[in-house]
A and B are shown apart, each in its own frame.
Chain A
Amino acid sequence: VAQKAMLGTSLEGIRPTYIYKVVLLGSMSVGKSSLAYRYVKNYFKELLPTVGCSFFTQMLNLEVATVKFEIWDTAGQEKYHSVCHLYYRSAHAALLIYDITNKETLNRAKLWLKDLEKEFLPNEIVIALVGNKVDLAAEREVATEEGEEFARTKSLLFMETSAKSSHQVNDIFMAIALELLQREQEKTSTPSPHRRSTVDLGESGARMGCC
């Protein structure tokens, strides 16, 4: 459950701000980091942080709400087995990224999906399957239909992107934002009498907005 920022909820007419954790999953060099960089690129060109940064934030101002994405990348850490699980534990959305020029990476994405299925209930997380590197169409090993078909059977969002040419990078994040917002709307309009009370072990849980 995303934390609604305190500001904006009490006053009517001000759009709520939602903070969502989005994780990027996928094999090595499918372009996870590049995709994130492409998405929040300008910010990085202007203002590189002193230390490297394993997560990015991006604001989206939509008509109904402000969405703040916290984009997490496991870059370089996927070999720390148990740590990866913790990366996506409290995520609201996941991008399963594969490389359309490398069939193996789609298989790996399917394994990630299995992991996610273990961790989340079907409606708990928005999952998007992303075939990256469409700029390398000549070397394509995975047909668009194949990714599409898999996404369809698993009810995932699906898009093919290119971090290099920027193709549909914004779009996929936008689709995720809209889907999350929609779920949010359903949730808020339903004050559930028996809201799930999860025992949160080791989760920081509440994250407050700062905007």
Chain B
Amino acid sequence: VEGDQLPPEHTVSQYETCKIRTIKAGTLEKLVENLLTAFGDNDFTYISIFLSTYRAFASTKEVLELLLDRYGNLETSSCEEVGSENSSESKTVLRTAIASILRAWLDQCSEDFREPPNYPCLLKLLDYLKRNIPGSDPERRAQNLLEQFQNQEVENDDGFHNTSPCNLFDEVELDASSPEEFSFFQEDLVAEQLTYMDAKLFKKVVPYHCLGCIWSRRDKKENKHLAPTIRATISQFNVVTKCVVSTILKSKELKTQQRAKIIEKWIHIAHECRILKNFSSLRAIISALQSNSIYRLKKTWACVPKDIMLMFEELSDIFSDHDNYLTSRELLMKEGTSKFANLDSSVKENQKRTQRRLQLQKDMGVMQGTVPYLGTFLTDLIMLDTALQDYIEGGLINFEKRRREFEVIAQIKLLQSACNSYCMTPDQKFIQWFRRQQHLTDDESYSLSREVEAAADTSTTSPKSRKSMVKRFSLLFLGSEVIAHSTPIKEQPKSAPGGSSGESTDSASVSSCEFNHSEYEDACISPTGTPDEPQKKVSESSSSSSSPTHSTDTSSSGVSSSISSTPLPSSNDKCSVSVTPITSKVLPPVYNQQNKDMCIIRISIEDSNGNMYKSILLTSQDKTPAVIQRAMLKHNLESDPAEDYELVQVISEDKELVIPGNANVFYAMNSHVNFDFLLRKKASVNGQVKMRGRCSLTLPRTAKRGCRSNRPSKITA
């Protein structure tokens, strides 16, 4: 019967009826008691779930005391508790149950009993077994475990078990006399050695350390030693990453070709890791190659052969974040416990290579384990921990939550046991080399990277910097319009049919009435700044009109190297709680030139003598009515109805272009002639074009004045 709604107290009675119930919640006492019940019900899953997750809500000591003293007491007349009339028979049943539970505990969660130096729980357990079930299998196991712990304690002076990667190879003597080079090591050997290390650490991971409630406490100072087995796998991961980075960057004198060779080698190693189903080092290598300081080495990457690049892309795709890492999850599930990796590659050469390797493995009868990337599991568990309550009403332990967590824990356990299939031996030369590798910090590797390949020249970045300028100005003008446009927010939840993530209807809406309006205004630049303000700035610097050479080859190296953090002194301080990042290297819009998506135009009114020009910033967003309105404002015509006016570009002395009433002015205008416009009363249209002087000459060309270029001087490494 699923979904038992009875209070948990009632579940005890199920011992007699042998119904299988799913406990949803209960007190610690009842959950422990139910271990015995579950055994009777052949519900071994419950026992596994409990043992794998109880550390989230109780200590080993508490559970042991409850189990042995309260429910498992075979000496007193506690048999009533399990409701049996025949005391000796029930004792036998109880003894079997306890023995089985304890065996499972010792087997599956032996780490629970590692409490040096006195091992109180293990001793208590041993004592119980000696008294109640002497000569039993669990007793032997407990005894062995105790000896094992004590031996390990002697080996490790710090009294802590051997999990850190530095202690991984104590048997290996550091021999400084043979400083091997990276090139010395074959790719398959590197992959195998990394897998050897990873597998060793992964097998040591104590599953309950992964539980969200445990792992999420990791950052508190007093918890430095929390979850050491997980920390060990992570630090190994990070060491691999750093090793990749430092082999590529540390020798400055390397030629680009040589450096590309090292990258190529790492891609091959990653591929070997894939064949070995070592997703941890695979991910470490891939993410190292994708890290800023490596990723940006454009010239170096250009020297990596195409088929190798394809291999790299295929390997990267495994960890594509698409659909919650669906690819890597599926792969893990598919191959987690299979004997061999199953690789499909679209690259023929890679395919052949893979086949050769796999055939070799099969011929040698080698079985493969799997090392997962643990991070995904950790996140899943933290999410579960966040989503589900520890306790439900009445303070009952929410066991349903533990069930959910166990689904993840069980996967980890399964992979751990599959890991035993690996049979690899450490290679001392490699391990020495690996341990000697320099570990650069992010900043160090970044600056090394800049020495290797200086920042791309600024031309590659200028299109983007102009964009940010556009942003800045268009916001000033359009902020209100755009915002007004998108409010009020409609509350129209719509569910996505078949979407893999399945948004539910009721969650999809954000109610507009909840929306805090003052907050809202903070969040957008108010258009109060008069157009004059940016315009002034514009004219001061508008002569930096050297047309930026646009490079179609804007690569990532350009991207990562072009950051300038100096903010432009902001003219609109009071609104800058807001949205627009401001940089010092914005390229201002100029008169007579359409820079990307903005420019300055000048508008006169027909009836004036033609000298009364007003400059207006035009963005690619601007429709005719808005431009007309702005021009009218400038010419103090705001009292007139805007509909009476039209906008005309003066092409030449005898030619003009009437901008259609609802056009996008930026695109409608002729950009090959002066950006001079006329604001004209519609009634006055008579087809006759008036003669006009070259007005631009009569105006001070503000552009000439402020020659200050806002473009940054080339950023050098």
Contact = CB atoms under 8 A, between A and B. Distances in A.
A82 B486 contact: no
Interface in B613-657: 619-621
Interface of B: 212, 215-216, 218-219, 231, 234, 237-238, 241, 283-284, 286-292, 295, 298, 301, 312-313, 316-317, 319-322, 324-325, 329, 375-376, 378-384, 386-388, 404, 407-408, 442, 446, 461, 463-465, 467-468, 470-471, 474-475, 478-479, 482-483, 485-504, 506-511, 514-516, 519-520, 522-524, 550-556, 559-560, 562-563, 565, 567, 573, 576-583, 596-597, 619-621, 664
Contact-size category for A: 35 or more
A204 B325 CA distance: 11
B382 A33 contact: yes
B464 A123 contact: yes
Given A59-B503, A190-B596, A64 B485 contact: yes
A27 B221 CA distance: 13
A77 B219 CA distance: 12
Nearest to B316: A202
B576 A75 contact: no
Contact of B523 (A21, A28, A157): A157
Contact of A42 (B486, B498, B507, B562): B507
Interface in A51-82: 51-64, 66, 68, 72-77, 79-82
A61 B464 contact: no
24 contacts: A40-B503, A41-B507, A43-B504, A51-B408, A54-B383, A61-B508, A63-B485, A68-B496, A76-B379, A77-B376, A80-B237, A83-B283, A124-B464, A127-B581, A153-B567, A154-B567, A154-B581, A171-B520, A179-B524, A179-B579, A182-B579, A186-B471, A201-B295, A211-B494
Contact of A119 (B292, B312, B468, B524): B292
A41 to B, nearest CB: 7
B503 A43 contact: yes
Contacts, number: 307
A201 B583 contact: no
Contact of A196 (B238, B478, B554): B554
B523 A189 contact: no
Given A46-B504, A51-B408, 7 more contacts: A59-B496, A82-B291, A86-B287, A171-B520, A174-B510, A175-B519, A203-B320
Contacts of B470: 186, 190
A185 B550 CA distance: 23
B528 to A, nearest CB: 17
Contacts of B284: 82
Contact of B322 (A57, A197, A204): A204
B552 A198 contact: no
Given A63-B486, A192-B597, A155 B506 contact: no
B386 A37 contact: yes
A142 interface: no
Contacts of A157: 523, 577-579
A93 to B, nearest CB: 11
B494 to A, nearest CB: 6
Contacts of B524: 178-179
A196 B464 contact: yes
Contacts of B312: 201-202
A28 B378 CA distance: 13
A171 B383 contact: no
B482 A185 contact: yes
Contacts of B503: 40, 43, 57-59
Nearest to B472: A123
A42 B504 contact: yes
Nearest to B463: A194
B490 A171 contact: no
A148 B523 CA distance: 11
Given A27-B219, A79-B234, A181-B486, A73 B407 contact: no
A117 B565 contact: yes
B567 A192 contact: no
Given A33-B382, A52-B379, A202-B290, A123 B581 contact: yes
